[in-house]
Chains A and B, each alone.
Chain A
Amino acid sequence: MPWLSITVLAPLLAAAILLLVPSSSRGTTRVLSAAASLVSLWGAIEVSLAYNLHEGGLQLRETLPLVPSLGINWDLAVDGWGVSLLLLTGLILFAGVFATWTLDDRDKDFYILLLTLVAGVLGVFVSLDLFVFFLFYEIAVLPMYLLIGIWGSTKKIEIKGPFAFALRRLDVGGREYAAMKLTLMLLIGSAFILVGIFALYQGGGARDFGMLHLAEHPLSREAQLWVFPALWLGFGSLAGVFPFHTWSPDGHASAPTAVSMLHAGVLMKLGAFGVMRVGMVLCPEGAVAWAPIVGAVAVINVVYGALGAMSQTDLKYVIAYSSVSHMGVVMLGAATLDTDGWNGAVFQMFAHGLMTGLFFALVGLVYGRAHDREIFRMGGFAKAMPGVAVFFTLAGLSSLGMPGFAGFIAEFLVFLGAWRSGNVVWALAGIVGAWVTAVYVLRAVRAIFWGEGPPERYHHLSDAKGTEWVALVLLGGCLIVFGCWPRLVLDAIDVGTSMHLPVVLQAVKPELAL
């Protein structure tokens, strides 16, 4: 059974079928999308079961020549990392579909775009051929424009500061602005990725785009010195690397629930996955030479993102900035070039995916009922929605690195890796970042849920209902399960790391002897 192709193409097929379904019949749209997400999730689970950990390496390989003359073929395979991230995507998609069960205007188009987006993401995680990798990458990025543009929300931003004239001209804060900024910044990133891919392709004798083939014919050191930064900036812009992260707060704040769940939950991981899988594995010498800079920027990401989150009073912005901060931890882990660091980085992708997915689902519920996102105007919501309060606290605790939740394992491994690879400052910055996260998360929980009853302007607050619980229980449960028994996913990730890291370490110069 070609599970990989099924998992990737199920959402696309469903999207195509949805095109034909009349938009009036809401039932069939929902059932079809739920079925598609179920198939993907089930596929992901099948893949993780079928993946034999002892053997490791690339398994379940499916190849089909696509454009032989250019050396492009539909080459899907899954390694340790792919398994875990596939699982994550399946979970988040399943939760996302249920989180928007109550959406009513133009829901058919919404589901079509959502499924296309997820198909892109799934494709990237499993495709071996760089060209198909890039093709799926583009498919994953583009639906965001329409998703945010049509169903997004606008927030008035006060215009001031040195570039006020530019902000005024671009009507900052609007949903079209956010959608356009997000799409353009990610596409500029993809331009750099394209250049990187072509450099690799030429280095590999311009015959084949397959990653295995390119790994065997690495580029010269000088070439790698500029190809890696191109790939890092390209993928990094999606992973929220410091100077290119500014689309993330606006994009996530304006995006509807399921979209920001998927985007922050899974799409940002695409960027980090790209940097590691394509950037580092295929340009080892470049990765080693640039690692200190990648790490330094990641540290800025962590601390800068955390402080940014603390300065925000809008709930969605807090979560968006916290995603930037947590993605900083991922990049930090990647920059350590150490087994623990890489394990931690990929596990953080997994854990943060669940956390942010849960967070944005909850934020969607709170916003859906209170129609307000200013946390200091709220208060005492726990009385009206105890279930949401419990799960929000749960997600918050996981994000601040409370043991017993997935967040702690990931961050701890990253700090181990950082310290062991000699960058003590990174580890300390990460730990301080975790503390700052604790400050703003608990402050938000207290501001929203604790205190006397909800102020009278929020009259009809009610707890989650029916299908909304699916997302909460699923993601919350996963956070705890993978927090207590990390081996369920860590084994697969470790297999992936022990497959890829030696490739990078061979390029290590003697002075970086580990």
Chain B
Amino acid sequence: MIELAMVPVFLPLATFGVLAVLWPLRHSGMPAAWLSVASALASCVAAILAWTGAPVAGEPAQGMVFDWLVHDGKTIAEVGFRLDAISAPMLVVVTFVAACVQVYSLGYMAHEPRPALGRYFAWHSLFIVAMSGMVLAPNMLQFLACWELVGLCSYLLIGFYWDKPSAGRAAVKAVWVTRFADIGLMSGVVLLYVTTGGFAFEMTGDSGAATLVAALLFCGVMGKSAQVPLHVWLPDAMEGPTPVSALLHAATMVAAGVFLVVRAWPIFEAAPPVLTAMTWIGAVTALVAACTALVQHDIKKVLAYSTCSQLGYMVAALGTGSFFGGYFHLTTHAFFKALLFLAAGSVIHAVGTNDLREMGGLAKKTKLTAGLFILGALALAGVPPLSGFFSKDLVLEELLHAHAYGPLLICLAAAGLTAFYMTRVVCMAFLGPASARSLEAHESPPVMLLPMGALALTAAVAGFTTGRFGNDVALAPWHFAVTAPGVAALLLALGGIALAYMKYGQGKLAGLGVPALAAFIRSGPVDGLFVRGWQQGLRPLAGVVGWVDRYVVDGAVNLFGWAALVGSERMRVLQSGKLRDATYLLVMGALVVVAWGAIGGVR
């Protein structure tokens, strides 16, 4: 079965290699695209087959490793594949969403110039390789390596429109922030090696080191999975083409952080203080992101903050002590958030702008897109029978079990807000009077609608596949209807939808929002912090160091040169060129020589 799992790594790698080296093929446009799409689809099929044959929780993992780093003759780090209950489902999610997005991109990116299209699909294949490599990583080192490669792909894909200055800044910002967080991750991996002598995912021995390693690893998670202080790069990442946002910045890449915690669960399990911190950070992120999403005008920004909020959910779930809740929510969220982004993409494709205020009444023009978007929105809001309801309630339930009442309340509030802002988007975009732009909107071609349909299907059905996520008990679907948090969440969701519909659908309740606060949140206060940190902190420090090096350290070195030159010039005066001075010098020299010798001896 392991060979099947290797397909999603080697096939796209081959595709990337071919596209990278044979530039005529890359410049050929559609053939290159189809090659990449084919390899993505094949990888998806292989992943699903591998998942069916994969060992269920408890069974030994199938794996294959080659030694990579060596230390005094012994190998200290291997590279390879490890297929088990945790990695198999994630592989399916990744490859499935990637395949859908690639097919979707055929339509969405059709009008791009040929070489750019080739480049786009090449990097997409590289992303699949990196993501699969990370999912199947047998040890923490390969996980870290692929984690960084995923960051590289995000940098490349965000900066796809490299001639747009804003895209360039966004791409660089993404890397800076994520790598800043990766300082923690790398230190964690190094500490892991130092304490355990290897890179395995579990840590025997005292829990002190485990706590520290877990905390450091969590720093990396906060960066990649956009937890509150370090989430500033995610909204800017929307500069990339929408399929990229769908694949990377919604479904898979941002979830890497969560998957890291799941993958290295034995370490985190042995570090309770880190877990409690995670619940709080997750909850806070969920709430803050939800509030910010409320006030955004750009449809993609709304979805970005919504992703940020859902990631908060997953992290909070992980913090409760069982990784299943987070993991399950991750998978369901991947499907419906990818769906939402693709739908948003076809909306943008239709009206040509991201600004919600210029949209309206698209339901009539783009029925299918509207229908799929609304389905996704409902799943996100947590309306049964869609998968969102099941996974979100599982999270709330776990929070309840872990007696984390504070985070529970915050998450409930966030759930309500989520429903509210999704409905706001639906009303502003699809319902209400048609704006100038939406008049000449037209439905997206089938090649875009087909993957959205597939994702819609999985978003609906995913709720029922609880059994295959590395957990031992399969929960019956109806189990949630009865629990208290489940009911509370449902009520809040319906309330949110109603309120939002009344405000934006029918224009009542005008006094609800506080425009000043909305404007302040939109301005991105946290982002401002980072920018100021760079402009007043790091850059001036570099300036000072540069100045010190050129004028002080280098100055001191030049001082010697200067002293030598000036000193020797001044000494030239001694050599007067007059014969009598020379004779005098000679005689006095002789006298000193003789005196020193003659008198010196006597003492």
Contact = CB atoms under 8 A, between A and B. Distances in A.
A–B interface present (Cβ within 8 A): yes
A243 interface: yes
A432 interface: yes
A419 B148 contact: no
A479 interface: no
A452 B67 CA distance: 45
Interface string B533-552: 00000110111111101111
Contact of A382 (B162, B539, B553): B162
B191 interface: yes
A403 B162 CA distance: 23
Interface string B136-176: 00000100111011001001000100110100110110011
A449 B172 CA distance: 13
Interface stretch (B247-255, B559-567, B589-597): B559-567
A443 B172 contact: yes
Residue among A164, A165, A431 having the largest count of chain B Cβ atoms under 10 Å = A431
A135 interface: no
B465 interface: no
Contacts of B187: 427-428, 431
Interface stretch (A61-69, A283-291, A485-493): A485-493
B67 A497 contact: no
A380 B549 CA distance: 31
Interface string B551-592: 111111111011001100000000000000000000000000
A51 B162 CA distance: 47
Interface string A232-249: 000000000001001101
B71 A339 contact: yes
B557 A246 contact: yes
Interface string B181-194: 01100110011011
A468 B557 CA distance: 37
Interface string B499-511: 0000000000000
A207 interface: no
B72 interface: yes
Contacts of B558: 163, 166-167, 170, 172, 181
Given A246-B554, A415-B190, A431-B183, A307 B546 contact: yes
Contact of A432 (B168, B183, B542, B557): B183
A308 B545 contact: yes
B555 A166 contact: yes
Given A308-B546, A408-B145, A181 B557 contact: yes
B52 to A, nearest CB: 31
A413 B190 CA distance: 9
Given A402-B152, A403-B149, A487-B68, A308 B549 contact: yes
Given A402-B148, A487-B67, A185 B557 contact: yes
B190 A498 contact: no
Interface stretch (A154-162, A221-229, A270-278, A369-377): A154-162
B70 interface: yes
A83 interface: no
Given A169-B565, A311-B542, A383 B149 contact: no
A435 B183 contact: yes
A162 B71 contact: no
Contact of A160 (B68, B159, B180, B551): B551
Contact of B559 (A166, A428, A453): A166
Interface in B488-541: 538-539, 541
A311 B543 contact: yes
Contact of A383 (B155, B163, B169, B193): B163
Contact of A416 (B149, B180, B190, B544): B190
A494 interface: yes
Interface string A347-387: 00000000000000000000000000000000010110000
Contacts of B179: 400, 435, 438
A110 B162 CA distance: 39
Contacts of A438: 175-176, 179
Residue among A247, A250, A427 having the largest count of chain B Cβ atoms under 10 Å = A427
B172 A162 contact: no
Given A185-B557, A415-B186, A307 B168 contact: no
A416 B172 CA distance: 28
B145 A404 contact: yes
Nearest to A421: B194
A340 interface: yes
Interface in A274-306: 304
B69 interface: yes
Residue among A165, A181, A308, A321 having the largest count of chain B Cβ atoms under 10 Å = A308
Nearest to A307: B545
Residue among A427, A442, A453 having the largest count of chain B Cβ atoms under 10 Å = A442
B205 interface: no
Interface string B76-87: 100000000000
Given A161-B552, A397-B152, A403-B146, 11 more contacts: A169-B565, A304-B545, A310-B546, A402-B152, A403-B145, A404-B145, A408-B148, A451-B162, A453-B163, A487-B68, A494-B72
Interface of B: 67-73, 76, 141, 144-146, 148-149, 152, 155, 159, 162-163, 165, 168-169, 171-172, 175-176, 179-180, 182-183, 186-187, 190-191, 193-194, 538-539, 541-547, 549-559, 561-562, 565-566
Interface of A: 157, 160-167, 169-170, 172, 181, 184-185, 243, 246-247, 249-250, 304, 307-308, 310-312, 321, 339-340, 343, 380, 382-383, 397, 400, 402-404, 408-409, 412-413, 415-416, 419-420, 427-428, 431-432, 435-436, 438-440, 442-443, 446, 449-453, 486-487, 490-491, 494, 497-498
18 contacts: A161-B547, A166-B555, A167-B551, A170-B558, A311-B544, A312-B546, A402-B149, A412-B186, A416-B190, A419-B190, A419-B194, A435-B182, A439-B176, A439-B538, A450-B168, A452-B165, A487-B69, A494-B72
What 6 A-B pairs come out closest when comparing CB atoms? A161-B551, A311-B546, A163-B555, A403-B145, A166-B562, A310-B542
